[in-house]
Amino acid sequence: MSAPRLGVIVGSTREGRFSERAAHWIAAHARDAFEVELLDLRDYPLPFFDEARAPMMSPPAHPVAKAWGAKLATCDAFVATVAEYNRGPTAVLKNAIDYAYAEWSRKPIGFVGYGALGATRAVEQLRLIAIEMQMAPIRSAVHVAGADFFAMMQGRAGFDDAPHLQRGAQDMLAQLRWWTDALKAARDATA
């Protein structure tokens, strides 16, 4: 049996982003249990959502949105890297979520948040959004916060210098794999 497919979403597109480092780090940890692919939002330059109908009712017409949806459909689970801007997730990540529906449905998602507070408020908002998309947000998340985050941003430390983050990643990924297997079995049984 092949490993389930995990899409690791690079949740920021700005210059100098930390999300890419966080995505590569969690992807390396996930490769023990998943077939991993990085989904960089820079590769999917979606316009702000302007479709005539919500993706719940009909597929998007925009060609980039079609490509984004097709890529999401190949995944069994997701992890998103999350920055926090003004107590919420990045607009580009929320927009990417809004451009699909069926491709998210009945799949689990975990989060790696980063910033002064580890993006805790943004992750909480994304959990609510994930539920609306009929996803299963994982209880545990990884929060790269405070001194760890600032030391990494300044180049004085790396992920390997924070064993508590390694343990957090292992815990989240174990939960994610359990939910991935359970939901994939249920999706396959009702296909």
Spans of all domains in the chain: 5-190
Question: If pLDDT is split at 50, 70 and 90, which confidence band does 191 have?
Answer: confident
In the predicted structure, residue 1 carries a pLDDT above the cut 80? no
Angle at 78 between CA 125 and CA 28, to 5 degrees: 120
| Mean pLDDT along residues 97-116 | 97
Domain 5-190, CATH number (from 3.30.200.190, 3.40.50.720, 3.20.20.10, 3.40.50.360): 3.40.50.360
Which pTM value belongs to this model?
0.96
pLDDT at 91: 97
In the predicted structure, residue 5 carries a pLDDT above the cut 70? yes
pLDDT at 97: 98
Token output for 178? 């359990």
| Mean pLDDT along residues 62-79 | 98
